[in-house]
Amino acid sequence: MKKSLTLLLLLATLSATGAEVKIKIAHRYLNFPVSHQTDRRAMRISMDGQEQCRFVVRLTAGEPDYWVFQDVSEYRGKTLALSFDGPEEALSKVYQADTFPGEDTLYDEAYRPQYHFTTRRGWINDPNGLVYDRTRGEYHLFYQHNPFEREWENMHWGHAVSTDLLHWQELPDALHPDTIGTIFSGSAWMDYDNAAGFNIPQRKDKRGRIISPERVAMIAYYTADHPRYQRQCMAYSLDGGRTFTKYDGNPVIDSHERWQSHDTRDPKIFKYADGQYVLVLNERDGHTIYNSSDLKTWTPMSHLTGFWECPELFQTPQGPWVLWGASGTYMLGDFDGTTFTPTTPKQMNLNGSAYAAQCFNQLPTGNSQQSTAKPQQPASVKMAWGRISFPDMPFNGCMLLPQTQEVRQTDQGPRLYSYPIAATEQLFTKVVDRSDISQQEANDLLRPFNGNDVLRIRATIHLTYATDASLRYRGQRLFDYDLNGNRLQGEFYYPPTPKGQQSTAKGQQPTAVSPLEITLDLYIDRAIVEGYVDGGAFSYSFQRDVKSPSTEGYIFTGNQLQLRRLEVFTAKSIWKE
């Protein structure tokens, strides 16, 4: 891309430690050329002698692999100083403009997913701060973000908003590293009760008319990661998460000495009852439950071992509470506000690429985590990080589809089911719907979709003579079930039989009740494969080989499979109107 838009007026000086430039900001973005052949070097951005942010970047003076950017709109008209511990020649390639290189092809890149969230540039991992703000009608997705390259480093909180959990608008990063540490995972809460005292009350004129409405604080809890320790901090926003003020009393929890461990991270906040807030924190060998009445002072109440990273604790609409860690193992149990008591052994909810799932706080119809009362509790909705890479792209990682969480009673005991939220149906248009067909007939119906890598396939498969079944594409098994070994995608699986009549969400197939019959709801989105089996009893995701030399189309394999039903859907892009 030509830099004729408006290059920086750079006053460059080379110091003993590297280069420095001063920039008067007149445009939206600072653009940085990045090459993975170049080592990371430190960059510091200051204004009037005060450091604004620091990060490491693979800045290159040569041909970049791609460009990254930083939104500097808030500094328009002001002068920033960029100090770089590297060659002046590389720093001189940085320029400002109202666009960034590649913006003209954004969301049309070869391997860009079309109905899963990915960031415009850089690396993403854990979802953070999932919350609904009723004052603006917005869902917030914060996430671990390295905006300066497609590999892990420089942890910020990226930020996107949505009105339907499907179509996302990416905003500038919300939280940046500071002297306490880089910004690791956490959660967010809308403080409608003003428990922390950050809210700005509404203003009225002499006639009692509202001049300005109350500004409710969104409070973010996050781990500040330092080489010597991890501590828990908070920040608050009064403008819908667009900007945050870090609490001057940080850290609010410093437990590394008590645990004699560096591993104290990933706070998850929710309200249990009036005046009683709960924060679940992973500490050394498990999850610790804290209580607070003011959202600032936290007291440890109990600890449960056996979980690692990214804790989640929530009550389902069916009553049981769920506790899990980042890997997807969970327990059902009871919770009294201070102690979680398991009622089931550990079970698995996530399989494959999914990691660090978190549920949304304060959903619009009320929140099952806000009260011990249970009338008309809404479904719990989670999102998880998909550990999926996109070859040759300037971005890495994705968010999997938002999923409803539901406890169902089965012959194997209560189980947590996960399946895409009902609103997902609006993204898909059914183009094939056939019942009671042979394996060959199914493959003939799938032949026209060879080459389509943005698709949804739903099927009920009957293994009349077969002991295994799979669906392949480009030589790769997108679905693989072995009846003899009870293996599904390589994991042990025996279909649970629901007790009584189970409600089925719109667009979801009934749950199979026999190992000879299995239902599959498969989502293909470029490099992402995401599958839901038997109504959500088993879910999985993995990375598709988008560079496979195979020309094989979508085909079912097995010994004389019968398909009770086959449906194929084309998909709309969430990035385009």
| Rounded CA separation 497/514 (Å) | 8
Give the up-direction half-sphere exposure of residue 257: CA atoms within 13 A in the CB hemisphere: 2
CB atoms within 10 A of CB 577: 5
**Nearest to 559, CA basis, from 428, 440, 413, 410:** 440
**Nearest to 16, CA basis, from 79, 76, 78, 84:** 84
Greatest extent of the chain over all pairs of C-alpha atoms, in Å: 81
| Rounded CA separation 274/303 (Å) | 23
HEC readout, 62-131? CCCCEEEEEECHHHCCCEEEEEECCCHHHHCCCEEECCCCCHHHCCCCCCCCCCCCCCCCEEEEEEEEEE
Q: Which residues pair with 141 in a beta bridge?
A: 160
| Rounded CA separation 170/81 (Å) | 26
Contact, 278 vs 289, CB < 8 A? yes
**Nearest to 281, CA basis, from 323, 235, 341, 227:** 323
Q: Which residues pair with 451 in a beta bridge?
A: none
HEC readout, 241-280? CCCCEECCCCCCECCHHHHCCCCEEEEEEEEEECCEEEEE
Contact, 322 vs 312, CB < 8 A? yes
Q: What are phi and psi of 355, to 5 degrees?
A: -155, 150
**Nearest to 161, CA basis, from 152, 151, 171:** 171
Q: Is residue 191 annotated as a catalytic residue, yes or no?
A: no
**Nearest to 557, CA basis, from 473, 490, 487:** 473
Strands (E), 421-527: 428-438, 454-462, 468-473, 476-482, 487-488, 491-492, 517-525
Sequence-distant (≥ 6) Cβ neighbours of residue 491 within 8 angstroms: 348, 351, 538, 540
Q: Which of 65, 98, 108, 126 is catalytic?
A: 126
Known catalytic residues are 126
